[in-house]
Amino acid sequence: MTETRNDQTNALSAARSARPHDFQALILSSFGGPEGQEDVIPFLRNVTRGRGIPDERLEEVATHYRANGGVSPINAQNRALRDALEAELRRRGIELPVLLANRNWDPYVADVLRECHERGYTDLLVMATSAYSGYSSCRQYREDYGVGLEETGLQDVMHVEKIRQYYDSEGFLRPYARKLRDSLQALRSRTDGPLRVLFTTHSVPMTDANAAGPQRMDFEGDSAYVAQHLAAARWIVEQVGEEMADVEWELVYQSRSGPPSMPWLEPDICDVIESLPEQGVTGVAVVPLGFVSDHMEVLWDLDTEARDAAAEARIEFERIPTAGTDPEFVAALVDLVEQRLGTPTAPPRISACSRGTWFDECAPDCCVKVLHGRDEPRPTIAQRPQGGPIPVDLDADGGVVLR
> Is the CA virtual torsion 370, 127, 303, 315 positive or negative?
positive
158 and 219 part of one domain = no
Residue 4 binned pLDDT confidence (cut-offs 50, 70, 90)? very low
200 DSSP β-pair partners: 252
Question: Would residue 6 count as lying in a domain?
Answer: no
Q: CATH code at 366?
A: 3.40.50.1400
Query: Is 375 found in the same domain as 293?
Result: no
User: In the predicted model, what is the mean pLDDT of residues 254-258?
Assistant: 91
Residue 8 has pLDDT above 80, yes or no: yes
Q: Which domain holds residue 220?
A: 170-319
Q: What angle do CA 303, 307, 313 make, to 5 degrees?
A: 175
Q: Could you tell me if 77 and 221 lie in one domain?
A: no
Q: How is the beta sheet containing 98-102 ordered, strand by strand?
A: 98-102, 25-30, 123-128, 159-162
- Do 257 and 346 lie in one domain? The reply is no
Domain-ending residue, one of 319, 347, 371: 319
Residue 374 lies in a domain: yes
How do residues 124-137 score in pLDDT, each as one tens digit?
Answer: 999 999 999 999 99
Task: Answer yes or no: do 247 and 389 share one domain.
Answer: no
- Categorize the per-residue pLDDT at 257 as very low, low, confident or very high, splitting at 50, 70 and 90: confident
Residues 356-379: what's their mean pLDDT?
Answer: 96
- The verdict on residue 395 lying in a domain is yes
36: phi then psi, degrees, rounded to nearest 5: -175, 170
**368 lies in a domain?**
yes
Which of these three, 264, 296, 319, is where a domain ends?
319
> Do the domain assignments include residue 57?
yes
Residues 387, 343: one domain?
yes
Beta strands in 264-331 (DSSP E): 283-287, 316-319
pLDDT band at 307 (very low <50, low <70, confident <90, very high): very high
Q: What is the mean pLDDT of the chain?
A: 97
Are 161 and 174 part of one and the same domain? no
pLDDT at 1 over 50: no
Q: Are residues 230 and 359 located together in one domain of the fold? A: no
pLDDT surpassing 60 at residue 120: yes
Contact indicator for 140, 30 with CB cutoff of 8 Å: no
Structural domain includes residue 5? no
Across-strand partners of 198? 250, 286
Binning the chain into helix, strand and coil, the percentages to the nearest 5 are 40, 15, 45
Q: Could you give the percent of the chain with pLDDT greater than 90?
A: 95
* pLDDT value, residue 372: 86
Q: In this predicted structure, which of 6-15, 158-167, 372-381 has the lowest mean pLDDT?
A: 6-15
CB neighbour class for 19 (10 Å; exposed up to 12, middle 13-18, buried from 19): exposed
User: Within this chain, do residues 138 and 30 fall inside the same structural domain, yes or no?
Assistant: yes
307 with 330, same domain: the answer is no
Beta strands in 58-138 (DSSP E): 98-102, 123-128
Check if the beta carbon of residue 151 is closer than 8 Å to that of residue 117: no
The average pLDDT across 223-235 equals 99
Asked whether residue 3 is domain-assigned, the answer is no
3-state secondary structure of 387: coil
Structural domain count of the chain = 2
Residue 259 has pLDDT above 90, yes or no: no
The pTM (predicted TM-score) of the whole model is: 0.97
203, 329 contact by CB (below 8 A): no
User: pLDDT-based confidence at 37, cuts 50/70/90?
Assistant: very high
Which residues neighbour 78 within 8 Å (Cβ) at sequence distance 6 or greater? 28, 30, 100, 129, 293
Please indicate, yes or no, if residue 1 is contained in any of the structural domains.
no
- Closest to 110 (Cα-Cα) out of 84, 81, 138, 147: 147
131 with 63, same domain: the answer is yes
The answer on 278 and 240 residing in a single domain is yes
- End position of a domain, from candidates 302, 319, 336: 319
Q: Rounded distance, CA 124 to CA 78, Å?
A: 18
Phi, psi of 167 (to 5 degrees): -60, -25
387: left (phi over 0), alpha (psi -120 to 50) or beta: left
pLDDT at 7 over 80: no
CA distances from 286 to 132, 179, 214, 247, 250 (A): 19, 11, 30, 13, 10
